[in-house]
Amino acid sequence: MQLLDGAAVSAQLKSQIKKETEELKAKTGKVPHLAAILVGNNPASEAYVASKVRTCEELGFGSTLLRFDTSITEQQLLDEIDNLNADDKIDGILVQLPLPEHISDDKVINKIDPTKDVDGFHPISLGKMLLGHKTFLPATPYGIMLMLEHYNIDVTGMHCVIIGRSNIVGTPMTILMSRNAKPGNATVTMCHSKTKNLKEITQTADIIIAAIGRPKYVTADMVKEGAIIIDVGINRIPDATKKSGSRLVGDVDFENVAPKASYITPVPGGVGLMTIGGLMKNTLEAAKQHI
Ligand code: GUN
């Protein structure tokens, strides 16, 4: 079993981005700039956004963090996005999800200028991805593709089972794994909460991508010997042995699945770090396109 080390791969990715950013600055004076919007104070969202802003600093990017109380109206938030769309200094706009219930995710994402959609959630970005055109890929699927590329894992002809059909991860992953590209050319089965015989399906998988948001959902009996396991889950569970009283686990029962796997991503230290790498790579690309 080989661990797919998100820390090592993302460190290498970040050093490449930092170098390219310095070159871009020296040649053109352009400094990539990411604007992040955080509404409310969901602890997980706070942590993700703080980490994204910290990474911007590390890479020599500019960053703007706009924080709003949950009392902000949908229209006010849409106006804020309009301001960022019109600001030439801003290359990428990220609205941390989930948003409060009174604000429509779709309306907000639709408002983002597609040339600044570094999260790759806008219908234009997703449509281009579907057609195989050059565009911003959603950060987590992009990070997973970069991880597979880094380890030279050729998924051509493999049976890839994706568990979870979110717009952010599961659905775009089905497109990327099946398209005629490298990595790609896998035979994809998309599973979700209504799938019957899930275990029978996962047992035939050469690669499983678990993105269902349930702690330790993929158990050893669901996994074929030698399968590749990509764990997208970040779930907090109670743990009395920890000072904080809790710890992070993925959607995969790592302890029991890892001995059967050929490759596996740990949680934390796997896909999560690659997500930030994907976002930063998109932001650098957006800056280059804005010169
Ligand atoms: N919430 C959970 N994952 C993500 C992500 O990748 N981007 C944003 N903006 N919000 C998220």
DSSP per-residue codes, 70-138: TT--HHHHHHHHHHHHH-TT--EEEEPSPPPTTS-HHHHHHHS-GGG-TT--SHHHHHHHHHT-S-PPP
Q: How far apart are CA 187 and CA 201, in angstroms?
A: 13
One-letter identity of residue 190 = M
Instruction: Tell me: do 153 and 265 sit in the same domain.
Output: yes
> Would you state the pLDDT for residue 126?
98
Q: Is 217 found in the same domain as 99?
A: no
Q: Are residues 93 and 161 in the same domain?
A: no
Check if the beta carbon of residue 162 is closer than 8 Å to that of residue 177.
yes
For ligand 1, atom 7, name the residue with the nearest CA: 96
Whole-number Å distance between alpha carbons of 96 and 39: 8
Residue 202 belongs to some domain of the structure: yes
In a domain, 119, yes or no: no
Residues 238 and 170 in one domain: yes
37 lines ligand 1 (CB under 6 A): no
The residues that bridge with 34 in the sheet, in sequence order, are 63, 92
Q: Are residues 152 and 264 part of one domain? A: yes
Q: How far is CA 45 from CA 36, 93, 230, 252, 257, in A?
A: 11, 16, 22, 22, 29
- 140 Cβ closer than 6 Å to some ligand 1 atom: yes
Hey, whose CA ends up nearest to atom 2 of ligand 1? 97
Domain containing residue 257: CATH number:
3.40.50.720
Ligand 1 contact, 96 CB (< 6 A): yes
Q: Based on the domain organization, do 154 and 240 belong to the same domain?
A: yes
Residue at 66 is within a domain: yes
Q: What is the DSSP letter of 229?
A: E
> 44 is in which domain, residue-wise?
28-113
For residue 246, report the distance from its CA to the centre of ligand 1, in Å: 22
Q: Report the alpha-carbon distance of residue 58 to residue 76 in Å, rounded.
A: 31
Query: Which pLDDT belongs to residue 177?
Result: 98
**Is the Cβ–Cβ distance between 97 and 168 less than 8 Å?**
yes
Structure tokens at 88: 């030439």
Is 165 domain-assigned? yes
The domain tally of the chain equals: 2
Q: Are residues 143 and 95 in the same domain?
A: no
Active site residues: 52, 96, 119
Q: Within this chain, do residues 173 and 228 fall inside the same structural domain, yes or no?
A: yes
pLDDT at 35 (0 to 100): 98
* Ligand 1 pocket member 42 (CB < 6 A): no
User: Tens of pLDDT along the chain (291 residues)?
Assistant: 999 999 999 999 999 999 999 999 999 999 999 999 999 999 999 999 999 999 999 999 999 999 999 999 999 999 999 999 999 999 999 999 999 999 999 999 999 999 999 999 999 999 999 999 999 999 999 999 999 999 999 999 999 999 999 999 999 999 999 999 999 999 999 999 999 999 999 999 999 999 999 999 999 999 999 999 999 999 999 999 999 999 999 999 999 999 999 999 999 999 999 999 999 999 999 999 999
Q: How far apart are CA 204 and CA 289, in angstroms?
A: 43
Asked whether residue 155 falls in the same domain as residue 38, the answer is: no
The CATH number of the domain where 107 resides is what? Answer: 3.40.50.10860
Mutation probe of ligand 1 site: the residue of 48, 94, 167 with most atoms within 8 A of C-beta: 48
- Round to whole Å and give the CA distance between 66 and 242: 33
Which is the closest atom of ligand 1 to the Cα of 94? 9
Q: Are both 81 and 169 inside the same structural domain?
A: no
In one letter, which amino acid is 61?
Answer: F
Please tell me the predicted confidence (pLDDT) of residue 261: 98
Residue 51 within any structural domain of the chain: yes
Cα–Cα dist 73/123, whole Å: 23
Does some domain include residue 35?
yes
Question: 219 near 253, Cβ under 8 Å?
Answer: yes
Domain membership of residue 65 (yes or no) is yes
Q: Is residue 213 part of a domain?
A: yes
Q: Is 257 in the same domain as 144?
A: yes
